[in-house]
Structure 1
């Protein structure tokens, strides 16, 4: 698995060799082009029902196929985190989110086509209002889990595990 920054060798402007500075800035000494490498932004939803169970979705595709995940996904250009999450929830579960509350941000890595992308996940909470869920898109299945039923070793990515840990810690205190 290759770290994403190692794929940038030549300047997109003048084709000169690039130089890496501090692991995040890529500089071209020839034409002074600067490229700031930033994580890909994602969203995740921690949604509880009236029985205090959390909705998890089972991933249909790699990476982490058949692992449990929080619903959400990548933020598109010119899209806010809230717009992205509402779109993703509609695509994945065919429900409409009303109220969202920001919960926290979490970093992780997303392996895709032999490249390891760093991600920054913006997690939100919401209450499930009973709308009929039908899985679509990249979701294989869904289930509501009690707090004790959630097994972190079966959760997809580091950011999702950490968000769930933080949430469970907060609701149990």
Structure 2
């Protein structure tokens, strides 16, 4: 098991502080002292597949870690009390300054990566989106650059996040 897995990182119960915080077989840790149980489930996130009128795919360049400098799709984590669709609209506004006009859910992709010394598990929902206005796109938030690619020119190895790489590959293959 990797050293950043929650079972390796969390040594003390966050409720009572006991060092009797033990791994269970159901993606959880349980405190033998107070009974507190913590599940390390996948966090929800969204990603937008956006094509322009020429059929080019919009890819962003990550301004932050993990995978700083690699290509990505616009999107991000779903906030507490927010639907995936609301998160999609918010993330597009934050990262591109654009408004989602229409969207269609495709499927979800599991992922895991290391952040702040901890393995983070995600469930990344892919949406194909059209924007109200493509001329307003401007990189912001955790995006440092926006690039358009004809599908045959996309280099999957330049996409840093595994689930996003798979998402883009599947989209290109099933068009």
TM-score normalised by length of structure 1: 0.91
The match for 2:43 is 40
Question: Are 2:93 and 1:73 aligned?
Answer: no
1:63 aligns with 2:66: yes
2:87 is aligned, of 63, 81, 84, to 84
Please, which runs of 5 or more residues in structure 2 have no aligned partner?
Answer: none
Q: Which whole-Å CA distance do the structure 1 matches of 2:15 and 2:130 have between them?
A: 48
Larger mean CA deviation between 6-15 and 93-102 belongs to: 6-15
Who is 1:103 aligned against? Answer: 106
Structure 1 consecutive aligned stretches of length 4 or more whose deviation exceeds 4 Å: none
Aligned length: 171
State the secondary structure of the residue aligned to 1:166: helix
1:140 aligned onto 2:147: no
Structure 1, unmatched stretches of 5+, are: none
Q: Secondary structure at the match of 1:110?
A: strand
Using the alignment, how far apart are the partners of 1:22 and 1:12 within structure 2?
A: 19
Query: How many angstroms apart in 2 are the aligned matches of 1:60 and 1:18?
Result: 36
2:15 counterpart (8, 13, 16): 13
Secondary structure at 2:167's aligned position in 1? helix
